[in-house]
Amino acid sequence: MNQNIRTVLFARGALLCVAAIWGSSLVVVKNTANSLPPLFLLAMRFTLACAVLCAASFRKLKVVNRDYLKSGAVIGLCLFSAYGIQTIGVLSAMPGKSAFLSSVYCVIVPFLFWAVEKRQPDRYNILAAVLCILGIGLASVTEDFSISKGDSLALLSGFFFAAHIVSVAKFGKGKDPFIITILQFGYSAAFSWLLSLALEHEAIQWSQGALWGGLYLSIVCTGAALLLQNIGQKYTDPSSASIILSLESVFGILFSAIFYHEALNLRLVTGFALIFTAVLISETKLSFIRHIRGKRHAENET
C-alpha cells in the first residue's frame, strides 16, 4: 500500500471518528445534564475548549482587532444559539431523534445563503428540502398534527447550526480560521456564563460522571473533533467528506439505541431515512453517483 492510499485512508478514518464523536455527544449531554444545568454545561464546555486552543496558539492572538472581535461575536452568537437550543431540547427528547432532526441544517444552509448572498439554490437543494420536510413529518408530526417541545427545539437548533455555517462563510472570509474558532468559542462561553448565572439557580450536583461528561464534551467533542476534522478534510475530497460526516446522525441513533434503548418503528426509520437522503443530496449533489457512472463508462470504452 503506497503512501498516498495510506494518507487517504487515515484521513477518512479521522472523519469517521469525528462523525462517531459528534454522534455520541447528545447521549453524553442528556446523561450529564441530569446533574449539571444545560447552560452551565455549555459554559464549561466552551470555556475549556477555548482555553485549550488559546494555549496551543497564543501567539496568533496578536493579530486580533476590532473587525475580528465583531466577526467573532456574530459567529459566536449563532454557535451558542445552536448548541444552547439543542442542549435544552435534548432534555425532553431522545438523543438519536434529536441528532437526526438537528441535521436538517445541511438542507437549510443553501436557502440561508440565498437570503444573505442572493445565491439561488439549485435543483438538488430543492429536492433535498422536499425529502427533508417529508422525513420530518414522518419522524415528528403526530396524528393530531402537533410536534413535541423536544422535536421543535431540535429543528430550531438545526436552523441556528445553518446560520452558524453561513455566518462563518460571510464574516470569517479572509481571516485566520484558528483565531475565528477561538473567538467563537470565547463568545459562546461568555453568553453561556451570562445566561447560566441569570437563569439557572438550581444547585450543581457534581459527580464523577458529570465531571467526565463535561471533560469529554469539552476536549473530545469540541477540541479533538475539530482537529480531526481539519486533518481529515485536508486529504479527502469534499463529496466523500460530506458523506462520512453526515453519518453523525446515524451514530447518534445507534448510541441512543444502545445506551438509552431508544425505540424505533417503521415510521421513524422511514422518516430518518428520508432526512439522511436529503442531507446526502444537499451535501454531495449526488456527485458520487456521477463519478461511479463516469468510471464505468470509461471502463466500457477501454
Using one digit for the tens of pLDDT, what is the confidence trace for 164-175?
888 888 888 888
What local confidence, expressed as pLDDT, does residue 58 receive?
76
pLDDT confidence bin for 284, thresholds 50/70/90:
confident
What local confidence, expressed as pLDDT, does residue 119 receive?
77
Q: Count the alpha carbons within 13 Å of 106 in the hemisphere toward its beta carbon.
A: 28
Compute the distance between CA of residue 99 and CA of residue 267 in angstroms, rounded to an integer. 17
At 125, which helix (H) or strand (E)?
A: helix 123-140
Query: Residue 212 pLDDT more than 70?
Result: yes
Using one digit for the tens of pLDDT, what is the confidence trace for 129-178?
888 888 888 888 766 667 888 889 999 999 998 898 888 888 888 888 88
Q: Nearest to residue 49, comparing CAs of 230, 206, 184?
A: 184
Using one digit for the tens of pLDDT, what is the confidence trace for 107-126?
888 888 888 877 788 888 88
Mean pLDDT of the chain: 83
Query: Residue 240 pLDDT more than 80?
Result: no
Collect all residues with Cβ–Cβ distance below 8 Å to 262 and sequence separation of at least 6: 94, 95, 96, 97, 253, 256
pLDDT confidence bin for 260, thresholds 50/70/90:
confident
